[in-house]
Structure 1
Amino acid sequence: MRPPTKKQYIREQKTICGKNYAEVDFCWISEKEHRAGTRGRKRFASSLAQQGRNAERARRTLVQLLNTNFDEQGFSLTLTYEDIYLPGGDDAAWLDVQNYLQRIRRWLKKQKWQSAGKLKWVCVTENQEADPAHGLKEVRYHHHMVLQVDGLTPEQRAALRDALENQWSTGTNRYREPLGTVNADRLQPEHDSLEGLAKYLLKSPRRKKRWHASRGLERPAYPRPNDTHWTPRKLADACTTLVDDAGFWERRYPGYRFLGAVPSFCEERAEWRMYIKLRRKRR
């Protein structure tokens, strides 16, 4: 007598990032995960961001965080150092960022803008020691930052942009000197996504990087998953013959424009996985 076959489930988990961007994961799950209650399903959805911990997962996590909290109202900054102020280590570099953010907060408080929201930011500090044996050149300490204050008028955003470039300094009053250069550019989402910026922030994965982010950033939302629509065969077809079929995916997710799909195949377990990227259609 043949043993009973174990039932297989493919989970379809949607991740909502802000008003305009979404991703959908398709992955294999166990029967225990399928039978889990609401709390267990939420834990599974949140754990998607912890799986793998490789460069691809780090990039996706940053894409989701940026798209949930930042849009064309924000700024992308690169902060560099003059030789005299180059920090001697990670702690000193992070202290410079803290002082900079404190200056920005004080400047915002003086403006007394009634409609201004809370200052929110994400910062990636980057450096690299020279290693000629592996072909690595020295990369001086510098910071990449995404920063935004909601509720500002165009005139107020222009004033904030000037302040962002002026407050990267040390000292007070006439003794104040710039720590280095600052380039503050307005965020320009491509197809309502900041994926390009996330890729730039995480370029050169061999370099040493440190992440920091403001408290209270909004996290992506995870609607209730669907475990019954997809089968292993359907997922395999989607990962091969339907992977670029925008019409199929837009019928599946009405109200969204299909941006692309990223399939992968695990040789060891003979399993397909995939996630797709969507943006909400404009009226």
Structure 2
Amino acid sequence: MKRKKRGMRPLEYDYEAAYQNSIEMLDEYFLEQIAKQNRKGLYACKEIYSGGQLEIELYPEFFRKEDIPEAGRKKRNKKAQDNLNDKNARKYLERLINANFHTSDIWATLVYRSGQEPQSMEEAMRNMRNYIDRLNYRRRKMGLPNVKYIYVTEYDPHAKIRWHHHIIMDGLLDRDTVEKIWKHGERNQVRRLEYDKDGLSGMANYVTKAPKGKKRWASSKGLKKPIEKKVHNKPTAPKRYRKVGTFVHGMVKNRDSIEETVKIWHPDYEYTRSEVYFNDFNGLFYIYIRMCRRE
């Protein structure tokens, strides 16, 4: 890998697509040979804070397009680009939910009576806007602020998935009122959000699962945005730092060191899980780590 020139910036690329081979596929001998090559290169550490959730991504950076594994390069056909856009949108939505909602809030699934389904996505979205307006009207009468929400609208005639909406909202209205204000159908599900070590990611992944039909989401204004930070050095002890690449190769050689290392980086967070991937194009690695804030 060539050294960067002064003033050069690393190229953006889809490192998740570029590094999809799980380290579990490597036998011990092959892993040892890769580690011996000691190809540190330039690694970045990206940290994404979403409420009580912390995601850490360690990945190599490149300054020449030819150094990037083919699967991660920006040039794609329309289908591949659409898939990437969808993946990024679902990831962002999951983080947005974790950043703004907790167990005091509500998750509702709203359905339609037979024969009263919308005829287009535009009509379905209009129904939701009217529903939000009715919620806010009720809340104003009770002296409450406008509702904080994220909703997803879904429909797939080929998979026999009927029109429905998932909405996550603050819990200032009781669940019976939330359901009664929806005028288009019964058998709705309204429940309190449930939290685990992944926060609300389980629910978020369910409502944003890869679409085979139509899907669209919207949110209220003023939601907290996930916070992203990127660095190239991390601490080994107070005021002592090393390049991220040295941590990566230590983690690859000894998987147990992942938990030990990130606990030094973030003592207020609890380690949840990690995944290590590699690409035999360049013998480099991508590591995904998840942590949750200690209550």
Change (3 A) 1:72 1:239: farther
Offset of residue 88 of structure 1: 0.6
Residue of 39, 45, 52 corresponding to 1:12 = 45
Which 10-residue stretch deviates more, 253-262 or 236-245?
A: 236-245
**TM-score normalised by L of structure 1:** 0.73
1:141 aligns with 2:163: yes
Equivalent-residue separation in structure 2 for 1:242 and 1:57 (angstroms): 28
3-state SS, counterpart of residue 227 of structure 2: coil
Q: Distance in 2 between matches of 1:223 and 1:163?
A: 40
Contact 2:139–2:146 (8 Å) recurs in 1 = no
- Corresponding position of 2:107: 76
Instruction: Provide the secondary structure at the position in 1 that maps to 2:148.
Output: strand
- Map 1:90-169 → 2, pairs under 5 A: 90-113=121-144, 117-130=145-158, 137-148=159-170, 157=172, 159-169=173-183
State the distance in 1 between where 2:138 and 2:244 align: 56
Contact 2:111/2:186 (<8 A) preserved: yes
Asked if the contact 1:244–1:261 (Cα under 8 Å) also holds between the matched residues in 2, the reply is no
Please list every run of at least 4 consecutive aligned residues from structure 1 whose deviation after the TM superposition is greater than 6 angstroms.
none
Partner of 2:228: 222
- Residues in 1 aligned to 2:132 and 2:190: alpha-carbon distance in whole angstroms: 14
Deviation at 1:17, TM superposition (A): 1.5
Q: In structure 1, what is the Cα distance between the partners aligned to 2:270 and 2:87?
A: 23
Deviation at 1:264, TM superposition (A): 2.4
Cα gap change, 1:17 to 1:98, in 2 (>3 Å): same
Query: C-alpha offsets along residues 144-200 of structure 1, whole Å, 9 cap, x if unaligned?
Result: 111115xxxxxxx4x53211110001xxxxxxxx43432111011112611101121
Q: Which blocks of at least 5 consecutive residues in structure 2 are unaligned? A: 5-40, 65-80, 235-241
- Residue 263 of structure 1 is matched in structure 2 by 276
Q: Report the Cα offset of residue 268 of structure 1.
A: 3.5
Secondary structure of the residue that 2:123 maps to in structure 1? Answer: helix
SS at match of 2:178: helix
* 1:280 pairs with 2:280: no
| Structure 1 residue ranges without an equivalent (≥5) | 33-49, 131-136, 150-156, 170-177
Contact 2:94 / 2:201 at 8 angstroms: preserved in 1? yes
Code of the residue aligned with 2:273 in structure 1: it is: G
CA distance in 2 between counterparts of 1:192 and 1:118 reads 28
Work out whether residues 136 and 146 of structure 2, in 8 Å CA contact, stay in contact via their aligned partners in 1.
no
Give the TM-score taking structure 2 as reference length.
0.70
- Secondary structure of 1:83's aligned partner: coil
Between the aligned partners of 1:270 and 1:56, the Cα distance in structure 2 is 25
Give the partner amino acid of 1:127. Answer: Y
Task: Judge which range, 266-275 or 195-204, deviates more.
Answer: 266-275
Aligned length: 236
Q: Distance in 2 between matches of 1:215 and 1:243?
A: 42
2:193 aligned with 1:187: yes
